[in-house]
Amino acid sequence: MADAFDEMTGVDGTVQPAYGELARWLAEIAPDILAFRRREAEVLFRRFGITFAVYGEAHAQERLIPFDVLPRILAAAEWEMLRAGLEQRVKALNLYIQDIYSRREILKAGVVPEELVFQNPVFRPEMNGLKVPHGIHVHIAGIDVVRTEAETFYVLEDNARTPSGVSYMLENREIMLRLFPELFARHRIAPVENYPDELLAMLNSVAPQNTSTDPTVVLLTPGVYNSAYYEHSFLADKLGIELVEGRDLFVMDQLVYMRTTQGPKRVDVIYRRVDDDFLDPLAFRPDSTLGVPGLMTAYQAGNVTLANAVGTGIADDKAVYSYMPQIIKFYLGAEPILKNVPTWCCREPEHLAYVLDHLEELVIKEVHGSGGYGMLVGPQADKQTIAIFRAKLKTNPKSFVAQPTLALSTCPTCVDEGVAPRHVDLRPFVLTGRDRIRIVPGGLTRVALTKGSLIVNSSQGGGTKDTWVLDQ
Amino acid sequence: MLSRTADNLYWLARYVERAEYLARILEVTQRLRTLPLSYAGSSNEWESTLATAGCAHAFSRAYAEANEETVTDFLCFSTANPSSIRNCFEMARGNARAVRTALTVEMWDAINGTWLELQRFGSGTRSHEEFMRFLRWVQESSLRFDGSAYRTMLRNDAYWFSRLGVYMERADNTARILDVKYHLLLPAHERVGGPLDYFQWAAILRSVSALTAYHWVYRDSVKPWLIADLLILRDELPRSLASCYQNLVLYLDHIGRAYGRQGAAQRQAQSIRARIENSRMEEIFQTGLHEFISEFVADNNRLGVTIGEQYLI
């Protein structure tokens, strides 16, 4: 694998303009300042209780995500290109889902194979022909983007179900403002603090037509044991809306109510962070205790908006991903602004044959996997792991896709040895409302803290950075 | 406000109050066990502590004998006892975490800090000295939490529900002490205890932190019927039944006014308070102290159920 593009020093060591001030500042400061601020940041995070849970770890029930104190910086022009690409991509995702659950023109045109939709376990027949409020399915999308060269951004993954991480984007900025006022004073940085306001405006805009002018919006969480519970409570607090669990809601005459100390109160919009499967035990998994019995009937009657809609999973798994360039062209008649990583779908025999021949150089992912679990990074894996994946691929090729190992860009990162380059990705959040699409400049930058590692997921030891979009 | 949020705030306050009460009665037991047997009476002080904690039944299912080791373990650190101090703090913090956004930063700091500190004590203490430090720490944690709620919470329904939790628990605890020790408080001619009950009486006062208060109120040596008077009828004492019900009526009134509706909870609380206010100690002794307290405990439990039905589910 060739040397990665460094966002501060490029390929030849020349400091990029966006990083000019940061580079000067790093050269000026006393060497122990960064270590000191790092410790300070950790104290702040722990005090605020900003934690997440890692599934499968009995003891580390609440853990901190490591935070890197050096910001990741994007120039205004870079961001503008990204923003346009994200908007285009999310528009196409919404049109695709709308089409799949109604006229299915894209299937008739043979652009996307039918079995990819109908044999997909996240396809929801309950959504067929359903007119969701204002025709929006993906209200909140998190699009994972990586960079390989100065001008080359790839979308790595679309998250169209219940993307998380936005609380870190907001908290990282707050912590940075506290820790590095002098560094901020040297820059003009687009703010992210208005994200909760934008989110609330979007949620208000998508209330069902027949509700009052002042809709009641709630955030539905699986509860305190969910790994993203901190984020749920954080957002509910910032939005000033009730954080509800399934048992706080009930459905009567196809209307949704929450139980309050003053009796039942009608609910119009549910920003739900509960997966489809657990949303309504009468419609989906009957053993779910997290959901609201009858919620789907209220939804189907058009009396409540679910954000995101049910069944959006058909647009974001890794097999559909490989068709995204065609999907964008089909609905928008335009070339994709953001590139797609070339993807081999192992369900197709000739692709599988190629993948099995090149396991050592490819990244293998499960079609329905997430969080960096069940993944093989060929160039970094030992022989035994490769053998295990070879067997998996042969027995169940449909469950896997493969991609070339991208040389993800690096950013200067504060590690034990000092400041060193580490690989990063970026998850910006795209909000689609009735009136318009809103994207707060920036997003969550995740960084692989281990030298050379390409896996940035927090569940695999990744950290986060504040992401700055400069105003020039 | 969500019913569940109100429920979490109510139980958060109750569990913190309960932890403090348990620490207090254990501290008293530690004092009594240092007295010569002839002073403290021949009864097993540890059994009496279990009864005062309301845990005698659950204890007998887990242990054969009530002694220092088994009782302190059961009341402080046991995970099998749902009301152990450890579990009280665990539950309090669990409730707090579920309603993070309804708490002030100071309250969260107080309860989360307590919970983090609790891990340090592990599953027990190694010496008497450390044990006494633990009991002090539990009481200080409760004071810190209560103080942070009092000083930082908005005076709205969230605050009122949390106060209801404090006073429901406190009334229950005071009533339980009276229920277990009533025989010590009967007027002299009816008394069944020995002549050296003085230390037992002082212990009762200590367990509601009222030994000094007693002297200020009565300016008299410790007399059992005055202790009963103090714990039941005197509204100056923050842990008396009268004071608890004054507060329960007050906060239920606030809620009723804010919501524009009075309900069964308001009516029941007012009638219990009226009964306490209209009682005289002589009458209570005449009709039977034990009967009076038993009836109160039942009434108090009924009010708890009513508050739950009216607001919390």
A426's enclosing H/E stretch is strand A418-427
- pLDDT tens-digit series, residues A424-451: 999 999 999 999 999 999 999 999 998 8
- Name the B residues in 188-247 with CB < 8 Å from any A CB: none
Q: Is pLDDT of A289 > 60?
A: yes
Ramachandran angles phi, psi of A108, nearest 5° = -60, -35
Helix segments in A363-461, DSSP class H:
383-395
Q: Do B259 and A248 touch (CB under 8 A)?
A: no
User: How many residues belong to chain A?
Assistant: 472
Question: Which of A224, A236, A245 shows the shortest C-beta gap to B101?
Answer: A236
Q: What is the pLDDT along chain B (313 residues), one digit of tens a residue?
A: 999 999 999 999 999 999 999 999 998 888 877 776 666 555 678 888 888 888 888 898 888 888 888 999 999 999 889 999 999 999 999 999 888 888 988 999 899 999 988 988 877 877 888 899 999 999 999 999 999 999 999 999 999 999 999 999 999 999 988 887 777 776 655 444 445 567 778 888 888 888 889 988 998 888 888 889 999 999 999 999 999 999 999 999 999 999 999 999 999 999 999 999 999 999 998 888 889 999 999 999 999 999 999 999 8
- Name the A residues in 234-273 with CB < 8 Å from any B CB: 236-237, 242-245, 247-248, 258-262
Q: Is pLDDT of A218 > 50?
A: yes
Q: Is pLDDT of A55 > 60?
A: no
Six token digits for residue B33: 């066990």
Determine if the peptide bond prior to B247 is cis (ω within 30°): no
pLDDT of res. A164: 92
Helix, strand, or coil (residue A301): coil
pLDDT of res. B176: 87
Q: Is pLDDT of A48 > 80?
A: no
Place of tokens 């396991």: A359
Q: Is pLDDT of A54 > 70?
A: no
Six token digits for residue B20: 């403090």
Chain B partners of A267 at a C-beta cutoff of 8 Å? Answer: none
> How many angstroms separate the CA atoms of A137 and A433, rounded?
10
Nearest-Cα distance to chain B for A190, in Å, is 28
% of chain A with per-residue pLDDT over 70: 94
On whether the CB atoms of residues A440 and A83 are closer than 8 A, the answer is no
User: Is this prediction's ipTM beyond 0.90?
Assistant: no
Dihedral, CA atoms, B31, B33, B38, B44, nearest 10 degrees? 130
Decide: pTM greater than 0.80.
yes
Select the more confidently predicted residue: B80 or A368: B80
* Burial degree of A50 (CB within 10 A; 0-12, 13-18, 19+): buried
Helix, strand, or coil (residue B238): coil
Q: What average pLDDT does this structure show over A282-287?
A: 92
Q: What is the β-pairing status of strands A242-244 and A305-307?
A: unpaired
In sign, the C-alpha dihedral spanning A262, A268, A273, A275 is positive
Beta carbons within 8 Å of A320's beta carbon, 6+ residues apart: A112, A116, A314, A327
pLDDT of res. B201: 80
Q: Do B3 and A261 touch (CB under 8 A)?
A: yes
> How many angstroms separate the CA atoms of A467 and A197, rounded?
19
Domains of chain A: 17-120+139-189+316-339+406-469 (no CATH), 342-404 (3.30.1490.270)
Residue type at position A89: R
